[in-house]
């Protein structure tokens, strides 16, 4: 009998044939960024970033993963692959690239001119947190309106809403009574 040559049947037969041009395009994109993402959709006609079938991207990366050339992470119906050191060497040889060419994940971010490197010791400055505006939350800018709102208990809520105003606490003779809430454990003994 004849065997079907559609992409789905080729996958089931474990002999996915990927044209060399397509494989080179996939490897080039992977090497350029150092990472590659593909949605888990075997029937998608094209990959979201490359002009190749999504199935071929997934299978080419699966092949690299089985040989230890990429690390695979899967979350929310997406595959995420990142090159390992062995994978960088393999793809560099496959694409005949010089040793000076490295993936974007290994390049250091260029520091914009005029910015000084961060000090090696703790935080600088007398402010708490060492940041503008103080605290661990980072730059806060001018928060005059917000702070006054909080101090005055604004927003129409008043003391009844628990925003500002006088706080009241129960007296010492307050005894809360629990009657076994709905659906929470066993019923109270009677």
pLDDT in tens, 42-80: 999 999 999 999 999 999 999 999 999 999 999 999 999
C-alpha span between 60 and 51 (Å, rounded):
14
| Residue 92's pLDDT band (cuts 50, 70, 90) | very high
Whether 30 and 91 have beta carbons less than 8 Å apart is answered as: yes
Specify the pLDDT at position 112: 72
User: Average pLDDT in the 11-40 region?
Assistant: 87
C-alpha span between 68 and 84 (Å, rounded):
7
| Percent of the chain residues topping a pLDDT of 70 | 57
Specify the pLDDT at position 60: 95
C-alpha span between 9 and 53 (Å, rounded):
15
| Residue 131's pLDDT band (cuts 50, 70, 90) | very low
Q: What is the pLDDT of residues 135-156, one digit of tens each?
A: 555 555 666 666 666 665 555 5
128 Cβ neighbours under 8 A, 6+ residues apart: 134, 135
Specify the pLDDT at position 12: 47
Per-chain mean pLDDT for the chain: 77
C-alpha span between 138 and 75 (Å, rounded):
30
Whether 123 and 117 have beta carbons less than 8 Å apart is answered as: no
Residue with the larger pLDDT of the pair 97 and 122:
97
C-alpha span between 131 and 122 (Å, rounded):
12
Specify the pLDDT at position 36: 96
15 pLDDT more than 70: no
35 pLDDT more than 80: yes
C-alpha span between 48 and 45 (Å, rounded):
10
Nearest to 32 by CA among 94, 113, 88: 88
Burial of 37 (0-12, 13-18, 19+ CB in 10 A): middle
């Amino acid at each position: 009998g004849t065997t079907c040559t559609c992409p789905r049947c080729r996958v089931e037969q474990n002999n996915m044939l990927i044209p060399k041009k397509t494989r080179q395009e996939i490897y080039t994109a992977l090497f350029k960024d150092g990472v590659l993402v593909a949605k888990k959709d075997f029937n998608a006609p094209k990959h979201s970033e490359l002009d190749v079938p999504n199935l071929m991207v997934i299978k080419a990366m699966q092949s690299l993963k089985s040989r230890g050339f990429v690390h695979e992470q899967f979350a929310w119906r997406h595959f995420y692959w990142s090159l390992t050191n062995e994978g960088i060497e393999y793809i560099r040889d496959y694409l005949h690239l010089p040793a000076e060419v490295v993936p974007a994940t290994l390049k250091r971010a260029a520091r914009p001119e005029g910015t000084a490197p961060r000090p090696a010791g703790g935080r600088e400055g007398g402010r708490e947190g060492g940041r503008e505006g103080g605290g661990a939350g980072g730059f806060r800018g001018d928060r005059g309106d917000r702070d006054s709102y909080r101090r005055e208990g604004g927003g129409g809520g008043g003391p009844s809403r628990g925003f500002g105003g006088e706080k009241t606490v129960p007296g010492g003779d307050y005894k809360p009574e629990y009657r076994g809430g709905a659906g929470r454990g066993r019923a109270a003994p009677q």
